[in-house]
Amino acid sequence: MDNWVAKNNNRWLSGNLQLVTYKLLKESSGWLTISEYLEADLSQQYQLTPKKSLVISNSINTFGNEYPNEPYHLGGTFMIIYAGSIWGMHFDALAIVAEAIYQLQYEGQKIELVIYTKQEFWDRYKEVLERFNVKYGSFIVPYSELYRYLKQSNLLLVTCSFLSEYVHVIRSSLLSKLTEYMATGVPILSCGPKYSACNRFLKKWDCALVCETNQVDGVKKFLFEHIHDRRKLECLALRAFEVFQQNFEKKQVEKKLYSFFESITYS
């Protein structure tokens, strides 16, 4: 789960959410968390140490058993794709990247940002995004088609908010799209604060470009320096694919999960 309980102080006649959360964590046989950072946050927040724990990241069926022969689309316009929901915890960073790309376009760079998301998200933010010449690529269904669309890009984008109101979520939440991106053989760019779980995760595995500034000029400079470095992008894409297959492919994750359930059931 995300750490949505961190700032939730709902109360009722016989108790409150914080007390219920504390008791649930204290009495449970084990914790399943989406990141090691969430486990650390919960442990610190409630002054508890889990009896047993397992970090269980988003798993998917591998799109292929071998690294794609063509690591990513070459030639023409450098395409950056953002796929998935756009919540408040994503948007300010997304808008910063969009503006940086827009400025690069103005300076003559052949580069574009395409967003694949539900119509409701696009409608909510399109006034800002269209101002920066962002293209809407619709919502991809069925899910099995996602891989084909992502493979059309040169770079896959992850964004996490720099706003203080989202610190408790950004610090511990690992976006599910990360492992989906890693499975494509396309390099990844993560833009967000230094403390974000996504950035820390990608730096830990050394498998993506990580940009940690919320200044448009800084993002623009970062992009310009890296979009022409084909060798580095290929190395990052291959590294991400290998990390995915070894750690986050569905069968690998299921094996860890079943083993964890057995350990807390028979202990």
The per-residue pLDDT for 147 is 84
Q: What is the greatest pairwise CA distance in the chain?
A: 64
Q: Where are the domains of the chain?
A: 11-59+248-265, 78-246
- 136 band by pLDDT with thresholds 50, 70 and 90: very high
| Residue 61: per-residue pLDDT | 67
pLDDT, average across residues 144-163: 92
What is the full DSSP assignment across 118-155?
Answer: -HHHHHHHHHHHHHTTPEE-----SGGGHHHHHTT-SE
Superfamily of domain 78-246: Glycogen Phosphorylase B; (3.40.50.2000)
Tell me if residue 255 falls in helix, strand or coil.
helix
Q: How far apart are CA 262 and CA 187, in angstroms?
A: 37
Under the banding of pLDDT at 50, 70 and 90, the label for residue 267 is: low
Average pLDDT across the chain, whole number: 89
* Both structure tokens of 86: 């756009």
Mean pLDDT of 203-228: 97
Of all residues in the chain, what percent carry a pLDDT higher than 70? Answer: 93
Model pTM greater than 0.75?
yes
